């Protein structure tokens, strides 16, 4: 979603058909456009966001370095969290196998999984290792014509998503394995880990959601993955149940980095909100009205709170009949929680859904909250590859220094 049009609430995307609401949560069909940042197309053709036409809107980060510059620096200097780099393929062969199934290089098409505003996602099986992969398919010529900011096209968003995923490796984040970009063809492919499970809200619904035990398990995974992103100065920008996938063994993985941003340091100020209306933080709703920036990490944390509310109660905390009504409720309405709710859970939701971002809980405190810890204990600390490498270098340097002083 683009900026809120100074409370005229104009959309940056033209929606032909809308993805359904959070899985298992009943909603008024007229409200469904408030529940998703992308739209879905039942056919194999694409549709795309329209030009925002907002010449006065600059990029998310200015005059600081753009995400692309920061990511390029990190990759050039080995500051990535991957033991093995993403495979980059610059030639593509599209054909059919002996059974008439379409193929892309080693990958054999099985069926379409879904579609978004920029392209579609298709399930493929690799003939090399026999595994299934989810492949995002884009048409470069279309995306290069779609301007999403004065100096950016929709293809810029795709390249940024790829660049971000190239530096990430975490058990609670969907993994990118290969990028296929043949300069002689119009297609661009992202070969992603296929999560053969469900969305976190499948099976949820009034009057009980998923229950506290399952909600706690899912939340712990989300917090772990998001703490990792924030520690690497990455703001996801669109945390919601539809972007949280559950594997067959119950592990939650964060997906879709199409609106994510990267920062050079801890200064995570953003100027416009790219997320989904019902998961948008109050300060993001107000950003156009008051002309100020907001902090992306705090906005991510608010979205975690809305997601937890959905998981537990099977509905949204603030949902109006229209976009403006929804934003009004997010900004002005009090958070209503059942009297019989677990006091610890109520305390956590009130901390996450605090309208003042300065008073809102931070993820480190969420991870230590009594309800989150529960009987499982503290969320395990994940030592990522780049930090392991850094600690090894520091240990090696310390050993050399100690030897020289002997």
User: 3-class SS at 332?
Assistant: helix
Give residue 403's pLDDT: 53
Say yes or no: domain 5-193 is CATH 3.30.200.20: yes
CA-derived radius of gyration, the chain: 22
287 burial via Cβ count (<10 Å: 0-12, 13-18, 19+): buried
pLDDT: is 218 or 402 the higher one? 218
Residue 66: pLDDT band (50, 70, 90) is confident
Tell me the range of 134-143, 159-168, 267-276, 382-391 where mean pLDDT is highest.
134-143
181 vs 91: CA distance, rounded Å:
7
Give residue 48's pLDDT: 27
Structure token pair of residue 276: 């989904």
According to CATH, what is the number of the domain 198-373?
1.10.510.10
- The mean-pLDDT minimum among 64-73, 131-140, 205-214 falls in 64-73
Give residue 114's pLDDT: 84
Give residue 116's pLDDT: 73
Give residue 264's pLDDT: 75
Structure token pair of residue 342: 């677990």
Inform me whether the pLDDT recorded for 26 exceeds 60: no
Give residue 7's pLDDT: 27
pLDDT > 90: what percent of the chain? Answer: 49
Residues with a known catalytic role: 238
What are the backbone dihedrals phi and psi of residue 170, each rounded to the nearest 5 degrees, phi first?
A: -155, 145
Residue 46 has what DSSP assignment?
-
Inform me whether the pLDDT recorded for 2 exceeds 80: no
Inform me whether the pLDDT recorded for 54 exceeds 80: no
Q: What is the mean pLDDT of residues 169-186?
A: 95
Closest CA to 255 of 265, 268, 241: 241
81 vs 167: CA distance, rounded Å:
5
User: 3-class SS at 205?
Assistant: coil
Q: Which helix (H) or strand (E) holds 80?
A: none
Q: Is 136 annotated as a binding residue?
A: yes
Inform me whether the pLDDT recorded for 144 exceeds 90: yes
Q: Are 57 and 3 in contact (CB under 8 A)?
A: yes
Would you say the CATH fold of 198-373 matches that of 5-193?
no
Strand order, beta sheet including 252-254: 198-199, 244-246, 252-254
pLDDT: is 81 or 228 the higher one? 228
Please state the pTM of the whole predicted model: 0.79
Q: Count the helix, strand and coil residues of the chain and give each as a percent rounded to the nearest 5.
A: 35, 15, 50
- The mean-pLDDT minimum among 73-77, 89-93, 316-320, 334-338 falls in 73-77
- Mean pLDDT score across all residues of the chain: 79
Q: What is the mean pLDDT of residues 379-402?
A: 66
Give residue 362's pLDDT: 95
Residue 217: pLDDT band (50, 70, 90) is very high
Sign of the torsion formed by the C-alpha atoms of 46, 239, 74 and 392: negative
Q: Are 11 and 2 in contact (CB under 8 A)?
A: yes
Q: What is the mean pLDDT of residues 391-401?
A: 61
Give residue 275's pLDDT: 73
Structure token pair of residue 90: 């610059």
Show me where the domains of the chain are located: 5-193, 198-373
- The mean-pLDDT minimum among 7-21, 186-200, 260-274 falls in 7-21
Q: What is the mean pLDDT of residues 93-103?
A: 92
CA 74 to chain centre: 20
Q: What digits encode the pLDDT tens for the residues 260-289?
A: 888 876 777 777 665 788 999 998 887 755
Residue 147: pLDDT band (50, 70, 90) is confident
């Amino acid at each position: 979603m683009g900026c809120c049009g100074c409370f005229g609430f104009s959309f940056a995307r033209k929606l032909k058909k809308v993805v359904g609401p959070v899985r298992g949560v009943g909603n008024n069909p007229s409200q469904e456009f408030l529940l998703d940042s992308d739209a879905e197309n039942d056919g194999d053709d694409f549709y795309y966001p329209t030009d925002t036409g907002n010449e006065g809107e600059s990029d998310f980060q200015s005059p600081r370095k753009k995400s692309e510059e920061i990511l390029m620096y990190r990759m050039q200097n080995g500051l990535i969290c991957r033991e093995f780099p993403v495979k980059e393929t610059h030639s593509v062969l599209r054909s059919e196998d002996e059974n008439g199934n379409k193929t892309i290089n080693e990958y054999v098409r099985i069926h379409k999984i879904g579609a978004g505003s920029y392209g579609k996602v298709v399930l493929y099986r690799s003939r090399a290792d026999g595994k299934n992969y989810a492949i995002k398919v884009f048409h470069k010529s279309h995306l290069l014509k779609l301007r999403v900011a004065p100096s950016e096209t929709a293809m810029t968003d795709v390249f940024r998503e790829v660049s971000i995923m190239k530096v990430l490796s975490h058990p609670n984040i969907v993994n990118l394995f290969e990028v296929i970009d043949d300069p002689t063809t119009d297609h661009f492919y992202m070969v992603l880990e296929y999560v053969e499970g469900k969305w976190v809200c499948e099976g949820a619904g009034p009057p009980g959601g998923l229950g506290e035990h399952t909600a706690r398990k899912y939340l712990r995974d989300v917090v772990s993955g998001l703490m990792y992103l924030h520690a690497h100065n990455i703001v996801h920008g669109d945390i919601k149940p539809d972007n949280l996938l559950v594997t067959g063994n119950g592990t939650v993985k964060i997906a879709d980095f199409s609106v994510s941003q990267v920062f050079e340091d801890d200064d995570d100020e953003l100027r416009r909100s790219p997320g989904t209306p019902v998961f948008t933080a109050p300060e993001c709703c107000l950003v156009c009205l008051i002309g100020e920036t907001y902090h992306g990490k705090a906005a991510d944390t608010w979205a975690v709170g809305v997601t937890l509310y959905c998981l537990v109660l099977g509905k949204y905390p603030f949902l109006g009949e229209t976009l403006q009504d929804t934003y009004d409720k997010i900004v002005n309405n009090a958070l209503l929680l059942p009297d019989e709710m677990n006091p610890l859970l109520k305390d956590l939701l009130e901390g996450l859904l605090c309208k003042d971002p300065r008073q809102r809980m931070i993820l480190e405190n969420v991870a230590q909250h009594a309800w989150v810890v529960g009987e499982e204990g503290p969320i395990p600390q994940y030592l990522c590859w780049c930090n392991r490498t850094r600690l090894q270098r520091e240990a090696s340097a310390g050993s050399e220094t100690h030897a020289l002083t002997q």
